[in-house]
Each structure stands twice: as C-alpha cells, then as structure tokens.
Structure 1
Amino acid sequence: MTHDIGALEGLVRKRVRALRLAHGWSLDELARRATLSASTLSRIENGQRRLALDQLVALARALDTTLDQLVASDVEDVVVSPVVDPHGWRRWPVRAQPGLSIVRQRLTAPPDPARVRAHAGQEWLVVLSGTALLLLGERRYRLEEDQAAEFPTMLPHAIGADRGPVDILAIFDRDARRDHQQAAGD
C-alpha cells in the first residue's frame, strides 16, 4: 500500500510539472497563481515536500484542471472499443471534463427527418472523415471532412451520413448529453 501511495505521489508531482511547463509557466508564475511560494512548489515537484490536500486543490485550480484529474492513478484503459447504441450508431466514448460528453460516432445512414428533435443544451461536432448532413431547423447543411458545426439543441436537429459512412466527433454539454442518453434508452 505504501508503495502505491509513493507511486501515486510521484505521478502527481510529474503531472504538476508537466502541466506547468505545458502552460509555459515558471515556478514563480505557477506559485503566484496557486498562492504558494516558489520554493514550496519546487520542493513539491522534486519530492522534497509531502503533498498536502490544500496545496493540491490550489494547484489543480491554478492549472485549470480538477483535483480528480490531478490525482487520478495511471490510465487503465487506453484502447476503447466501439459500442453500438439502440440507433445502430457505433460510438467510441471518450472521457471528458465534468459536464461535457465527447463521443466519436460512425454514421452510415442519412439523417431521418422523422427523428428530428429539439432539447435543451448545446452541441458541437467536427467531421473526421466522410461527409455529414445536418438537418437544423428548416435548413440542411453539408459538412465535409474537417468542417465543424456548433448549435443550440433547442433547434430541431438530426445528423447522418451523405453517400457513405461519416465519422464525427460530437461534444455535448450536460443538458444535451442527458437528452441524448434518454433518447438512446427509448
């Protein structure tokens, strides 16, 4: 058990340093943002000081991450297999920030005008390959590879493939995710 805690502490220290460097911040800059001294931060990163919960909370906030993400143990499942939902869509669930859901989907059928629906929330999508058709209100949008769309989901909408499979990456806010999960359960 002690070895596991030591390994986790080492991982957290590496994450703090890596995130600091990714932001392009010096020790002084992160210390200022986290209301710590630069020497304390240096000792935390170098393993010369024990990790304290209040410092970890301040560091997570300053690094624009969550405490859960900062102290999460090593990644368990790197490879994600697709699942087929009740609509027949292949989905690759991706871990996301709290409140957001990110889903990679392969769509093979055109959008069904009978399945156009509106609900609370916001949705964003990008076409990874192929061509998508987005029905949004009374309009039709053709989205090619690398094109993206963002829209309030209160507009009646449906998405599907245009002449062959299309892979999209969709991001849903909390409200949109809840409605999509309920619809998949129907």
Structure 2
Amino acid sequence: MTQDGELDNLVRKRIRGLRVAKGWSLDELAARCYLSPSTLSRIETGHRRIALDQLAPIARALGTSLDHLVETVSDDDVVIRPQRDEARGRTTWILSREPGPQGMSVARMRLTQPAPRGSADSQRVHPGKDWFTVLSGTVELLLGERTILVEAGEAAEFSTMIPHAFGAYDGPAEMLCILDHDGERTHLRPKP
C-alpha cells in the first residue's frame, strides 16, 4: 500500500471509525492489538505507514477481517442496477447482495407481460416456497389449474412444487419477492 493512496486513507478512516463506534480510546484499542497508543495514533492520522503485521492484529481487535478493512469502494456496493429480461417482460432489482437465511434472496420485479400460457414449459416446478407482495398493478399467478389475481397491497405465498408462473394482468405490475435459491434461479435469471 502507498502512504498517499486512496485505499490507505480509507483503511485509516475505517480503523478510526470502528474504534470510535465501539467507544474505545486509542489506549483501549492499542492494548487489544499490542501496539503503542502513539503508533496507533500515527497510523490513524496518516503520520505512519500501515504495515501488514500491524494491520492484521488491528483488524482482529476490531472484530473484523483484513479483507473488510482493505476492500475497495465503488458505486456497485451501493447502487443496485436493474437487470432487464426483454423476452419475459421483466426488470429485476436483486436487493439482497448476499443470500440470507436458508439462501433466501429479496428482489423487486417489474412485470410488463402476462403470465406465460400454452407451452409445457409455461409453468415451472422447483423445491421450496415463493412469497411476494404486489406494490402496484395486479399480478396474475398461475398455480396449477388455478388463476389467482393478486392486487396491490396483497401478498401470496405458495409451495413451488405446484406448477406455477406469474405475469402482469391488465397493465404493468411491480412486486417484492422473497425467493429461495431454486426460486431465484428459476424466476430471476434470464431463460437460456
């Protein structure tokens, strides 16, 4: 790392920010990472180079990893960009960057085409459950032989072992979905 680099300054700010968030003085953090308070002060203020043999114990003492202290920052860690699937009339924003409990994902989806009908592939089956709430418009849920209209403000939850498909009914619709790993792969990825 270079003393004047942006990453170096970011690491210094993270060290100080984590220390302050824990309510620790320089003396308290220094004791936990076996450095002198003056060395730690010079590291935080940029008056001393950060050596790897100092950074690892600082990260450990702060309860974080070395990777988290030095990861670079870009807009991609903040801005969620839409994924468009023109063939299915869907725009998806995957809101959970990492899978949650039991591999669950959260996504916002805008539907512009009706639920697929006719072909043997139009309704899919996969293990698990799907859950969604309609934010605007009406979503048509094909569930086996049933057609269910789910309107804005309503939610649906169903076993995905029942053949199912969904789409917009009488105009565009937006929904918020919670899907397991199989549901994400089936509903959020473009068809091959």
Match of 2:144 among 137, 147, 155: 137
Residue of structure 2 equivalent to 1:160 = 167
Residues 1:107 and 2:111 aligned together: yes
Residues 1:7 and 2:7 aligned together: no
Q: Matches of 1:172 and 1:90 in 2, distance apart?
A: 16
Alpha-carbon distance, 1:74 to partner: 5.5
Alpha-carbon distance, 1:129 to partner: 0.6
CA contact (8 A) 2:88 2:113 kept: no
Give the unaligned 5+ runs of structure 1: 18-40, 58-66
Distance 1:4 1:178, change over 3 A: same
Residue of structure 2 equivalent to 1:34 = none
Alpha-carbon distance, 1:13 to partner: 5.3
Residues 1:118 and 2:125 aligned together: yes
CA contact (8 A) 1:121 1:175 kept: yes
Alpha-carbon distance, 1:105 to partner: 1.5
Distance 1:12 1:136, change over 3 A: farther
Residue of structure 1 equivalent to 2:176 = 169
Residues 1:185 and 2:184 aligned together: no
Q: Percent identity?
A: 35
Distance 1:55 1:80, change over 3 A: closer
Alpha-carbon distance, 1:55 to partner: 6.1
Distance 1:2 1:124, change over 3 A: same
Normalised to the residue count of structure 2, the TM-score between the two structures is 0.62
**1:62-77 alignment, distance < 5 Å:** 76-77=75-76
- State the secondary structure of the residue aligned to 2:185: helix
* C-alpha distance after superposition, 1:99-121 (max 9, x if no partner): 23222221122212331111123
Q: Greater Rg, structure 1 or structure 2?
A: 2
CA contact (8 A) 1:125 1:149 kept: yes
Residue of structure 2 equivalent to 1:83 = 83
* C-alpha distance after superposition, 1:136-179 (max 9, x if no partner): 12222211112111222111111111111101112211122233
Normalised to the residue count of structure 1, the TM-score between the two structures is 0.64
Alpha-carbon distance, 1:4 to partner: 2.2
Q: Structure 2 counterpart of 1:8, which letter?
A: R
Give the unaligned 5+ runs of structure 2: 1-6, 34-57
Q: Structure 1 counterpart of 2:94, which letter?
A: P
Alpha-carbon distance, 1:180 to partner: 3.5
